[in-house]
Every structure is written in C-alpha cells, then in structure tokens.
Amino acid sequence: MKRLKITNDHGWTPRTLRKQERKIKDASLRVRVTAVRLVMEGFLGKDVAKMVNLCRQSVALYVARFNEGGLDHL
C-alpha cells in the first residue's frame, strides 16, 4: 500500500487547516479537512481513517481531491 502524500498544499499548513476546521459548520466537511490535515502532519492513511472513523479509501480520495484543487474540491 502506497503512503498518502500531500503533493500540493495550496498554501495551507497544518496550523491553518486546524484553524479552518474550527470555523466549518458542516460536520462532514470538517471530517474531510481533518483527514487531510492529519495526512499533512505525517500520519498513515489507515491511522487517519481510524482517527476520523472513515475507511482508508475515503481518506485516500479526500487527499487526492485536496491535491487536485485544495479545500474547494473537498
């Protein structure tokens, strides 16, 4: 299994994503942003999936979408 990696941060850092998470009212979007942030911080996809109660494939999809277009694509 290939390690998930943020290839384009679109100007976001783990710290700024954490601040953004607090502002997001939509719970499902908040989970997606949290998953991306945890991958950005270096956690494995399977560990992130357990932390946010998602399947590994969903985490991989969210990371791919973020890499493609930032938060707008989540």
- pTM here is 0.94
Residue 49 domain boundaries: 14-68
Condensed to tens digits (0 to 9), the pLDDT of residues 30-45 reads: 999 999 999 999 999 9
Quote the percentage of the chain above a pLDDT of 90.
97
Q: Average of pLDDT values for 54-73?
A: 97
Q: Establish if 3 belongs to a structural domain.
A: no
Share the mean pLDDT of the chain: 96
Structure confidence at residue 1 as a pLDDT band (50, 70, 90): low
Q: Establish if 36 belongs to a structural domain.
A: yes
Count how many Cα atoms sit within 13 Å of the Cα of residue 45 in the half-sphere of its side chain. 16
DSSP helix, strand, coil percent of the chain (3-state; round to 5):
70, 0, 30
CA distance 21 to 3: 24
- Structural domain count, the chain: 1
Q: Establish if 4 belongs to a structural domain.
A: no
Q: Establish if 8 belongs to a structural domain.
A: no
